[in-house]
Amino acid sequence: MTAWTDGYVADLGYTYGFYRELTPQMLSFGALAAGETPLDTASPFRFCELGCGQGFSANLLAAANPHAQFYATDFNPSQVANARALAAEAGLSNVTFFDTPFAAFADEPDLPEEFDVIALHGIYSWIGLENRQAIVDFIARKLKVGGLVYISYNALPGWSAAAPLRHLMYLHGKATGGPTAGRLEPALQFTDAMLAAGAGFFRANPALKERFDKLKGMSRNYLAHEYFNDAWALFYHSEVAQDLSAAKLTFLGSAALLEGVDAINLTAEQQQLLAGIADRTQREVMKDYMFNQQFRRDVFVKGPLPLPPRRLQEVWAEQRFALSTPRADVPLTVKGVLGEATLQAEVYTPILDGLAEGAKTLRALCADKAVEALGWAKLTQALTILVGAGHVQPCLPAKDENKRAKSTRAFNAAVCERARDNADLGFLASPVTGGGIAVDRFAQLFLLSIGAGAKQPRDWADFAWSVLAAQNQRIVKDGKPLDTPEENVAELAARAATFAEKTLPVLKSLQVA
């Protein structure tokens, strides 16, 4: 171990994920849904990400919000170098990456005096006390009054049963020594052997076998950072709220919007029990017991400012929304803690049909009498649920959308070019939503082909196969690689046809393609 890593895995890079909850427009909508003053995402703002990993989220958000300034730091210089490389390929001038430790970051001369948003995804659970204190100090010094903080972390009580499983793997990896990549498989094999040997802990916790089986199929890069860091901590919400109170923060709500819908998560008895708890923090922890919560996505604010009812309705009326799932594929069901719940067709159908015509403000949606007749409470709850389920996205105003599109086109072209080599980057930027839209490697290759002038899905498939074949790669279907070129092209042609029918129209409506 070298001093600069501070016990954190550094020899195996983190994943290239995009985390939707970091999207400024999503955070702003979460505040609006909670009745609070939203972030003004249409005007210039400043955004900071602590522990940005490969920097993909920060780069994508910078591309989709060229009117804002983004700053991000990560301790690993290799990841920062990769983040800067993508920014350069995309021609981004509004994002700056640092490899500065948290304790020194507030004193960076190139940082602005204050930020509108400070975000950290997962990192709070993977660092020690000293670094957590440095983060709280940074927030106290750098978050503006009215600013938002997004913080996610491994939570109790949900992690309680699995924490010993993590410790078992960590200890085995520590004893094995050597590069992290070489310690992962032996640790998994040893844990398998413990299960097979009938260790009492696993007999007493039979559900862990299913969890471990799923774990074996996860990204090795993710597993290294979750299971092999020296620092690893679990938190009750009350503990994080207490930490952040030192920076004058107040809990606003969960960025996982469906968690706030009691009807799909709590029985009538549980709702009645929670209703009798006056303290907000205690009530959140009790909900975590009812959910068996193992990962929280919290949003805090420095100085809550609830909107008066009249003003709240005005802001909601001007909020724009767009479908990000093909209309025909949006189910009238939603999953909560209690299982799958059915959505009322008479409420959701007119809303979805209206959005199928393109992005609209709530005011524009209400031009349809069937939507207007739903009333304020049903409308706002339905839209919150659709956003929480990921089928609808809250959008930036239409003003300046073409300016944003210039930035996202350059970024998306850079991402699609990288798809020639690997499937690391699975999202593209939308100037409509100000965030990311999931687009896998094959779809990105199809877009490259379209950009080169190809018109037909079969041509897109042939192009994608030429890229894969040149690297001796094959498509994996049903867990097995397809052997012949004919099989691979046929599979690609089928995917291209589906892409043309379902995905491409959505991408065009969001100005991603």
Contact 99, 75 (CB under 8 A): yes
Q: How far is CA 434 from the centre of its chain?
A: 14
* Number of CB atoms found within 10 A of residue 294's CB: 17
- Which whole-number Å values give the CA distances from 429 to 154, 346, 389, 432, in the listed order? 28, 33, 19, 9
For range 96-125, the mean pLDDT: 96
Statement: 3-157+233-301 belongs to CATH 2.60.40.10: no
> pLDDT per residue over 3-17, tens digit each?
555 555 655 556 788
Instruction: Check residue 385 and report its DSSP letter.
Output: H
Edge-to-edge strands, sheet with 360-361:
360-361, 320-323, 392-395
Terminal CA-to-CA distance of the chain, rounded, Å? 45
Give the tokens for residue 374.
Answer: 């739903």
CA atoms of 473 and 475, how far apart (whole Å) = 7
- At residue 77, φ and ψ (nearest 5 deg) are -65, -30
Provide the residue type at 321 as one letter: F
pLDDT value for 349:
97
* Strand locations in 171-323 (E): 250-254, 295-301, 320-323
Global confidence as pTM? 0.94
The 10s digit of each residue's pLDDT in 19-75 is 999 999 999 999 999 999 999 999 999 999 999 999 999 999 999 999 999 999 998
Spell out the domain ranges in the chain: 3-157+233-301, 163-227, 322-395, 442-513
Euclidean distance between CA atoms 327 and 33, whole angstroms = 24
Give the range among 136-145, 194-203, 222-231 with minimum mean pLDDT: 222-231
How many other CB atoms are found less than 10 A from the CB of residue 16? 22
Whether 512 shows a pLDDT value over 80: the answer reads: yes
For residue 228, the model assigns a pLDDT of 85
Given a contact cutoff of 8 angstroms between Cβ atoms, the answer to whether 499 and 446 are in contact is yes
SS3 70: strand
**CA gap 238, 231 in Å, rounded:** 20
Single out the residue of 248, 246, 244 nearest to residue 235, CA to CA.
Answer: 244
231 in Cβ contact with 205 (< 8 Å): no
pLDDT band of 1, cuts 50, 70, 90: very low
pLDDT over threshold 60, residue 489 = yes
Q: What are phi and psi of 104, to 5 degrees?
A: -105, -5
Q: Which residues contact 221 (CB under 8 A, 6 or more apart)?
A: 12, 13, 14, 15
Q: What tens digit of pLDDT does each residue of 374-398 get?
A: 999 999 999 999 999 999 999 999 9
Mean pLDDT, the chain, rounded, equals 94
Whether residue 57 contacts residue 17, with contact meaning beta carbons closer than 8 Å, is answered with: yes
Find the DSSP H helices in 299-367: 309-318, 345-355, 362-365
Confidence at residue 190, expressed as pLDDT on a 0 to 100 scale: 93
